[in-house]
A = this chain, B = another copy of it.
Amino acid sequence: MKPSDPSPPAGLRQKLVDAATLALDAGAGEPSLRALARDLGVSAMASYRHFPDKAALMAAVVAQGFVRLSATLAAADASAPGMQALVAQGLAYVDFAMAQPGLFRLMFSPAGQADNAAAARAQAYNRLSARVAALQPGNPAAATLACWAVVHGLAVLQLDHALATSREELREALAVAIRGLGVEQQAVNPPETRG
């Protein structure tokens, strides 16, 4: 309203995305556009200057979520060598899901499949894929799929179920699973010829 408003002019779009992300993880499902607008001190229709509809806002939230997940995975990957980097990525993945359950759920819901978010999603997938390919040049596609499945499955089950699984147990389960997937042979030891 007044020019003395303390916020920069073009900030609403990002503020909407951030507020929606925050509200998602605050518990009660998808926030309403009107509630978001109220929280930001703005009219109910303001968001329509930045997004064609609510789904587009949510898609932007999802896209930002995948960007952040991707960055988290990259950091985890860099934190350890070889196969341990893969386990670290898996742990980071599960940690992300537990830290932002609402966002994570949205990212893997029909709302998260908007074309808008496809690029960011692919980038996150590539973090894992690259590490798997580095560890097992033979059949990276299948191995990546299996790795992502394990990690994603653990995250979702942990979220849904509140399996009282400690972080240590998770780490062990991840390590066992990844080792089992035939990814490790070339990593820890120098490569041996193997069928």
Give A residues with C-beta under 8 Å from B: 29, 105, 108-110, 112-113, 142, 145-146, 148-154, 156-157, 160, 163, 165, 169, 172-173, 176-177, 179-182
Report Cα–Cα, A184/B104, bound state, in Å.
33
Report Cα–Cα, A177/B113, bound state, in Å.
27
Report Cα–Cα, A157/B148, bound state, in Å.
8
Is the CB–CB distance between A156 and B156 below 8 Å? yes
Report Cα–Cα, A110/B109, bound state, in Å.
12
A176-B172 contact given A146-B150, A151-B153, A157-B149, CB 8 Å threshold: no
Residues on B with C-beta less than 8 A from A109 are 105, 109
Residues on B with C-beta less than 8 A from A148 are 153, 157
Shortest distance between the CB of A50 and any CB in chain B (Å): 23
Report Cα–Cα, A152/B148, bound state, in Å.
11
Give 7 A-B contacts (CB < 8 Å), ordered by A residue.
A142-B169, A145-B163, A145-B173, A149-B151, A151-B153, A176-B181, A177-B177
Is the CB–CB distance between A160 and B29 below 8 Å? no
Task: Give the secondary structure class of A's interface.
Answer: helix
Residues on B with C-beta less than 8 A from A165 are 145
Q: Which of B108, B142, B177 contacts A149 (CB 8 A)?
A: B177
A108-B182 contact given A151-B153, A153-B153, A172-B142, CB 8 Å threshold: no
Which 10 A-B pairs have CB atoms at the shortest separation, nearest pair first?
A: A153-B153, A149-B153, A180-B180, A152-B153, A149-B154, A180-B181, A146-B177, A149-B150, A150-B150, A108-B160
Residues on B with C-beta less than 8 A from A177 are 146, 149-150, 177, 180-181
Report Cα–Cα, A151/B157, bound state, in Å.
11
